[in-house]
Structure 1
C-alpha cells in the first residue's frame, strides 16, 4: 500500500530513532565485550533491503542469555541520559509481554491514551528496542518440552494483567485455557510471574552440549516452540543499513528461514501495515549530540 506524507515522515523518524538506539546499545555492548544482533524485521531489512523495511515501525534485537545477563546488570548505569532500560515487571503491576526494552524518552509513538498509561504510565509510548533472549535447548527433549509447557502456563496466567484480553483471538480449547489461566494469574503479583518465567527460561542453560540447540525464550507465543542452532548466534557479522553497519547473527539466513520461511519475498501490499505507531503522534526530539532537535 502507498503511505501518505504524514505516514512516510513518521516512518522516517522511527527508523532514525531506531538507529540511535541501536548505536547506544552497541556502545554499551562494545564496552563490555557483548554481542547484540538485529532481529526480526530489522534483520530482514538489513539483508533484503540494505535498509529498513519501509513499513516497519518497531525495533528488535537479540542477545544470547550469557550476554544479556551482563547487559541487564549494567544498562541502567551505562545508558546515556535520555535512555531507560525497562524490565517486563516494571509496568506498575501491568503485563505487556516478557520482553525487556531500551526506551528513548525524547520521542512518542502514539496518543498517550488510557491504554498507554496503563503500562507503566506510558513508558512504552516512546521509540524503543525490544530485546529477545536466545536460551539453550536441553539435549533432553522431554525437559525442553516440560519447560516449554511451563512457559506457556505462566504466559497464560499473565494475560490477566493485560489492559484488555480479547478472547476472540483464541479458538477452541485454547480460548477456555487462556480464560481460566488469566483468572488464576490475577492471584499472583506480576513481579512473581515474571520471576517464574525468567527462572524457567534458564533451566536448560549449559545442557545443550551435544546437539547445541537454542530458542528465543521470550518471543511471541506462536514462535516459542521454534528451535535454532546455537552456531547461528555464535558471533556477529556486519550488515549494511542505509550505508551504516549494524550486527546480525552469523547464521542470519538460517535463522530467518526458520522463523519466516521465504523472507526474501516481501508480503503483498495489503499486508504492509503499521502496528506500533500512529503517524499523527510520532515525534523525535533526541539528539546524539545532547541537543534537542527542532
Structure 2
C-alpha cells in the first residue's frame, strides 16, 4: 500500500468534507466548520498549514438528521459511530473515506476499518446558568473519560507536565473502565447530553470533545442559531455567524499564529491507499 503525504491526506479529507457539504445542502442540514478547521478558514482560507484534520459541529437536531440520512441512503463514504459499532468508544461520528486506511491504534481495544476522516460533533443545550452548564459538561466529560479508558488495551503514562497527579487519576479510570460496557455507557451518556434542546437553554456546547477545551466549550445558545458561508480551500462552506466570538473564546487571539516551534500538527496520521492507484481526484 502507498503511504499518503500530508498534502494527499488533506486532499482526501477535503473531498470527504465536500461530500458532507453536498448532502447537508441537499437536505437542509446545518453544520459549521469548527475548532482548528474554522480557525484555518478564517486565518488561512483553508487548512492550518501544519494541521491535518477537519472537525464539524452540528446542532443536535441536524446531527440526528445527518445520521439518519446516512443510514437510509447510499453514500460515497462510510461512518463510524457507537450506534453502529458497539465497540466504538467515542460519541462523535467519524465520516471516513473508503479508499484509504489508517492502521490500527495499538493502544485501543477497538479494531476496525478506518479511512481518512472528518469528525462531526453534536451541540446540545447545557443549562440556564453558567454553573449549571459546567456541572452538566463535566458530568459528561467524566462518563466519556471512563468510556475512553475502558478502550485502552493497556495503561500508559501521560507526558503532560501534570503527569504525577494526572496519572493517578487516569489509572483510576483505567481500573473502573474494566467494569463497564462501553456501548451502554455511551448510549446513556448520549441520552444525558441530548436532554435539552439548544433553544431551551441559555448556554449550549459540544461536550463529546470537551477534554481539550473544558469550560471554554460553553457558549451562549444563540451562537449556534445562525450560519454564514466562509472560504475553505477555494470553496464556500457553512460556519456559525458568530465565529469570531467562538474562536476568541476557545483560542484567544486566534489571528496571531503561534511561534514557529509550536506550529506542529497534533494527529500525526499515517494513512495509506488501499490500492496503488490515486483516489484523491474523486470527491
Equivalent pair of 2:11/2:280 in contact (CA under 8 Å): no
Higher relative contact order (CA 8 A, sep 6+): 2
Structure 1 alignment gaps of length 5 or more:
1-6, 290-294
Pick aligned residue for 1:133 from 119, 122, 125 = 122
Does the residue aligned with 2:5 lie in a helix, a strand or coil?
helix
How far apart are residue 53 of structure 1 and its match? 1.2
Match of 2:79 in 1: 85
Structure 2 alignment gaps of length 5 or more:
none
Pick aligned residue for 2:156 from 147, 166, 180 = 166
Partner Cα distance (2:179, 2:132) in 1: 27
TM-score, structure 2 as length reference? 0.84
Alpha-carbon displacement from aligned partner over 1:10-42 (angstroms, at most 9, x marks no partner): 222122112211111112212321111111111
Label 1:230 to 1:113 Cα distance change in 2 as closer, same or farther (>3 A): closer
Pick aligned residue for 2:244 from 240, 243, 253 = 253
Partner Cα distance (2:6, 2:209) in 1: 24
Partner Cα distance (1:143, 1:253) in 2: 25
Partner Cα distance (1:275, 1:84) in 2: 24
Structure 1 stretch displaced more, 158-167 or 27-36: 158-167
Pick aligned residue for 2:16 from 21, 34, 54 = 21
Pick aligned residue for 1:189 from 181, 190, 201 = 181
Match of 2:190 in 1: 198
Match of 2:139 in 1: 150
How far apart are residue 63 of structure 1 and its match? 0.4
Partner Cα distance (1:53, 1:264) in 2: 12
How many residues are treated as equivalent by the alignment?
274
Partner Cα distance (1:286, 1:224) in 2: 35
Q: Residues 26-105 of structure 1: matches in 2 within 5 Å?
A: 26-81=21-76, 83-88=77-82, 93=87, 95=89, 97-105=90-98
TM-score, structure 1 as length reference? 0.82
Partner Cα distance (1:144, 1:51) in 2: 32
Match of 1:3 in 2: none
Alpha-carbon displacement from aligned partner over 1:221-277 (angstroms, at most 9, x marks no partner): 142322112222212211112321111111111001111111111122212223334
Q: Report the RMSD for the aligned CA atoms in angstroms.
A: 2.8
Match of 1:4 in 2: none
Equivalent pair of 1:138/1:207 in contact (CA under 8 Å): no
